[in-house]
Amino acid sequence: MKKLLFATLLLTLFNVTSFSQNKITLEDIWVKGTFRAKSINEIRSMEDGEHYCILTSKGIDKYQYKDGQKVERIIDFALLNFGTTGQNHSVFDYNFSKDEKKIIIAVNPEFIYRYSFVADYYIYELETKSFYPLDNGNKQRLADFSPDGNKVSWIRDNNLYITDISSSNKEVKQITTDGEYNKIIYGTSDWVYEEELGLVKGYAWNETSTKLAYYRFDETNVKEYSMQIWGELYPYNYKYKYPKAGEDNSVVDLFIYDLPTQNHEQINLGQDKDYYLPRIQFSKDPNQLIIHKLNRLQNQYEILSFNTSNHQIETIYSETNPFYINEPEVVYFLKDNSAFIIKSERSGYSHLYLVKLKDKSINPITSGNYDVEKICYIDQKDKKVYYTAAESSAINRELCVVNFNGKKKRILSKEIGTNDASFSKTGKYYIGTYSDANTPNVFTVNNQKGEALVTLEDNAALKDTLKLYGQEKKEFGSFNTSIGITLNYWMIKPANMQQGKKYPVLFFVYGGPSSQEVLNSQRRATDMYWFKMLAQQGYIVISIDPRGTGMRGEAFRKCTYKELGKLETEDLIEAAKYFSEIEYIDKTRLGVFGWSYGGYMSSLAITKGADYFKTAIAVAPVTNWRYYDNIYTERFMQKPQNNGENYDINSPINHVDKLKGNYLLIHGTADDNVHVQNSMDLAEALIQANKQFEQFYYPNKNHGIYGGNTRLHLYQLMTDFIKRKL
């Protein structure tokens, strides 16, 4: 039976078809937007749970959930006076006050790092149609309403401000005064907290708008990194604080500002400041500030409760891990403040728990040999949690619901692939997002039972376009390594493969801790079209998720602890061996491409794996973990002072003598994340080892290497290299 099935598959595989198809070009991908999917931007549920708003280029539009019909345009941007004429204004973000009588809009953003930006903030009052700038000075950051809607808090030049928008003169009060670039930061975070802990907004209001908790970062002892920015007669030196592995962090403190008394109180977190405070939040009690705390090595986690009235602090949750704890998330407090819901790996998989404050008991809500991805909605009335999880397979995401007691679990999503949900404030409806590897995003309005009420966007036009561009599809599978480890992969083959012909392979790899590339979704859709273009030109493209990657339980994702690069490279070599045995693959023409952590992996593949890979492309690679930031690196590697051997033994710089294939090294010179120093030092090591290679640097480009014609140029560069060398 198995032999018959295999023969049938071979006949199907090598059937040369005569269909006609358009050829994908780089201009289609990067210039024309031929494959650009439609999306729904910045969805905001209204408090009534019956309506939602979306942001468009023309305004903020209000819709009703039950039928997806537009009710009104709340703000028409063309009617607003932004104070300048003859200038196009881009509205980037918006936020309602709690009573929904006012809206903050962020206009003309200028990005600082990955998430942070400055913008011109404006207030729009719906009842009076009044529209005015938050402040007439330079751009601001992180503007947000107080819960009572009477005040707006914001940041400028590392200082915290509050504008009283209920007063006739819109009084502005500067809350902190000694903020200074590269030294003191209030109300937001430093580079490394933003990049590795996702903390940008560094302040929180209590429910009664009487207290404001805020961060203070002292960067004085953090070492600077300098980048030259070209374009003028004399290049500009941009300097910012970047704590590398084993180096000093900012000293982080927390303060409470009491609005009635205008007093500032520092919270006493002890003398030892070598910790991380990844989150703060007020609970439903206006006098209870919740503080999330990690030790330097990120394997001890505490949730602290600080009473702003009597200044008492206590631990309400603690957890240790023999490896590390992934960055903590905000926890969900019940309305009566009796308990909160948290995600934890304490069972060996990522699951949800109900923690009762009275006795600190920890009660599982979900369980099983699968990972929960995130909480989507908590129905406190019916005591249910809606969440997404990789229950059927690591490559899929289901939308599920379960009672607080762990009973009556149901899968609500109907389609196999990647499902997500944005719930209304009351939980009566949710906007579901679905895609799989070969289906662009579909947006629907659903009820609590998971039934689709209306389709908002199905990207039908893109689906029709794709029919004109060939039959190359992502196919999923898995294989066992020589030591019995099962690895997932996807593959894109030429649609009209010829029997007896052998095809070159390009492996696409990322491989970083808890990451995932083998996912049944539209993730990295733009790269997917490039891979399909390569398939049309006779290449097979394959991606694997090696050990250390996500959604397969803690043991699988944390086995790379303290030795990043070792097991991942071994698994990539195992993949090369496995696929080399397939009769239609040319084992003498195996290449690998990766970006960032993937560039690190491709650099190791062409050095430590030089016997298996002919060609490699590394974009913005880490080449020595000593050069990377401390929060990320020490989480997985501990400090170099304690684990230096593993820092060095898995550094591509120390394996350059093994290079014998074709290697292309690419970096942006203004990369604030993975510094160009990584590529410069690797290039020097290759030169001293007398190894020939190719390199290309993009002036003034950051880790994403984009802007203007840059992406088209980059992908043309890589395509040409693949054609020449693979």
User: DSSP string of 479-503?
Assistant: EE-TTS-EEEEEEE--TTPPTT--E
User: What tens digit of pLDDT does each residue of 147-193 get?
Assistant: 999 999 999 999 999 999 999 999 999 999 999 999 999 999 999 99
Is a pLDDT exceeding 60 seen at residue 19? no
CA 375 distance to own-chain centroid: 16
List C-alpha distances in Å: 694 to 59, 504, 618, 665, 704.
48, 21, 11, 6, 20
Q: What is the largest CA-CA distance in the chain?
A: 83
| Nearest by Cα to 561 from 625, 513, 628, 598 | 513
Res 12: pLDDT: 42
User: What tens digit of pLDDT does each residue of 222-256 get?
Assistant: 999 999 999 999 999 999 999 999 999 999 999 99
First to last CA, the chain: 38
508 and 598 in contact (C-beta within 8 Å)?
yes
Structure tokens at 367: 């369980």
User: What tens digit of pLDDT does each residue of 441-470 get?
Assistant: 999 999 999 999 999 999 999 999 999 998
| Nearest by Cα to 79 from 102, 51, 52, 60 | 60
Interatomic CA distance for residues 82 and 6, integer angstroms: 66
400 and 391 in contact (C-beta within 8 Å)?
yes
Domains detected in the chain: 470-725 (3.40.50.1820)
Neighbour tally for 649: CB within 10 Å: 12
pLDDT band at residue 89, thresholds of 50, 70 and 90? confident
Res 20: pLDDT: 57
Q: Which long-range contacts (CB under 8 A, 24 or more apart) does 126-135 make?
A: 126/74, 126/100, 126/101, 126/102, 127/101, 131/80, 131/81, 132/170, 133/83, 134/104, 134/163, 135/161, 135/163, 135/172
Structure tokens at 706: 């984009």
Interatomic CA distance for residues 414 and 285, integer angstroms: 39
Mean pLDDT of 278-307: 97
Residues 6+ apart with CB under 8 A from 209: 146, 147, 148, 150, 151, 259
| Nearest by Cα to 593 from 623, 615, 610 | 615
| Nearest by Cα to 190 from 253, 117, 240, 229 | 240
Buried b (16+ CB within 10 A) or exposed e, 377-399: bbbeeeebbbbbbbbebbbbbbb
Judged by average pLDDT, the poorest of 250-254, 324-328, 410-414 is: 324-328
Structure tokens at 148: 């009572």
Res 16: pLDDT: 40
User: What tens digit of pLDDT does each residue of 499-536 get?
Assistant: 999 999 999 999 999 999 999 999 999 999 999 999 99
Q: Three-state SS across 79-125?
A: HCCCCCCCCCCCEEEEEECCCCCEEEEEEEEEECCCCCEEEEEEEEE
Mean pLDDT (the chain, rounded) = 95
Neighbour tally for 521: CB within 10 Å: 21
Neighbour tally for 313: CB within 10 Å: 15
